[in-house]
Amino acid sequence: MTVDNLINWFPFGAEWPVITFVSAVLICAIPVFLFIAVYALVAIYGELKISSFMQDKVGPMGQGVGLHAGKWGLLQPVADALKLILKEDIIPESADKKLFILAPFVVFVGAFITFAALPFSQEIIVADMNIGVFYILAVSSLGVIGIILAGWSSNNKWSLYGAMRSAAQIVSYEIPAGLSIITIVMLTGTLSMQGIIISQQGIIWGFLPNWIIFNNPFSFIAFFIFFISGVAECNRTPFDIPEAESELVAGAYTEYSGMRYAFFFLSEYANMFVVSGVAVAAFLGGWNSPIPGFMDSPPWGLFWFIGKSMSLIFLMIWFRWTFPRLRVDQLMSVCWKVFLPVSFVNIFGVGIWNLLVG
């Protein structure tokens, strides 16, 4: 399902090119939006339940008659979503109204359009661009503009703190993340997401799947740098200093409520999926089966891709409920003093490895 296929499939493509293009994009956008919504519900439920098991409690449970959260609390995320939708939407009097309203959409759009280049399976990808990796890196940093807008327009010191921290953090962590991706491009020689995944088919070292993470020691390190940077870009604990509820109340989102807050919430979860998805596609073989040749058909590809992404998301949830939060200067020094030099060494290492071994 790519936009190109759709455009070609429309019988009147030649006569009304603009209408064809817009309708093709819309047709692709709706399932993606539905996917994000459903996935967010699942992820929220997972977050609730996983944290509960880690913290020696039961989490949402359905018990007794009347209004309750369904069996095992399955309806809890639905109730949460309903609550957010029905809640009063408050815009502070001294806020910059236009920017205040705009901010959540910018953040959500930043997360949403990244999905266009995520290869869900051999056939399911919205647009298999030849610069897919580049597109994802470029577009995913749009969200930070929304966060700055939110922090500035709220006219609240806490929000401003959160926005400034968030901007510094996301911009810094883009660099090691980008540099780690460069190692992939060097190994595979393509910027297309599908191309990267296709190059990871087969077996390496005799028994391991031919995933880039197992390709050489440098790409192994690059995966961890990318994933940790990704967690930082999602503003998740231990890097949640922009929100830091014990210091900044709710950071950039302090003044938001109801549906607008839900958009930030949704885009945080969407970002988690994007980071996991890119990590899976770039390092963990994408939609390839872990055992080459076993359950390796296109429908299974979807299963593998989402399954692998979800395991990474589980890892993020695990982080969140285990670690304390870093301080802002420590966060920066980790980025600039550890990840950045190591990433550069990685690039050299991969280059030399390619010359000698590959």
Site residues for another protein per CB under 8 A:
51, 54-57, 157, 161, 237-238, 240-241, 244-247, 249, 321-330
Distances (CA, A) of 47 to 51, 154, 331: 6, 28, 24
- CB atoms near residue 105 (< 10 Å): 15
Least separation in angstroms between residue 265's CB and another protein is: 17
Strand, coil or helix: 209: strand
Between residues 8 and 330, which has the closer beta carbon with respect to another protein?
330
89 versus 245: smaller Cβ distance to another protein:
245
Give least dist CB 175 to another protein, A: 21
Closest CA to 277 of 81, 35, 109, 26: 35
Q: Nearest distance from residue 46's CB to another protein, in Å?
A: 16
Determine the 3-state secondary structure of 68 from DSSP. coil
In this structure, the chain runs to a length of 358
Are residues 50 and 317 in contact, defined by beta-carbon separation less than 8 angstroms? Answer: yes
d(CA 87, CA 97): 19
**CB-based burial of residue 59 (10 Å sphere; 0-12 exposed, 13-18 middle, 19+ buried)?**
middle
Residue (96 or 247) nearer to another protein, CB? 247
Closest distance of CB 342 from another protein, Å? 17
In the complex, the smallest distance separating the C-beta of residue 245 from another protein, rounded to whole angstroms, is: 6
Looking at this protein, which amino acid is placed at residue 146? G
Q: What is the token pair recorded at 185?
A: 């491009």
Smallest gap from residue 72 Cβ to another protein (A): 20
Q: Which is nearer to another protein, 249 or 347 (CB)?
A: 249
C-beta closer to another protein: residue 240 or 268: 240
Backbone angles phi, psi at 208, to 5 degrees: -85, 150
Choice between 316 and 328, CB closer to another protein: 328
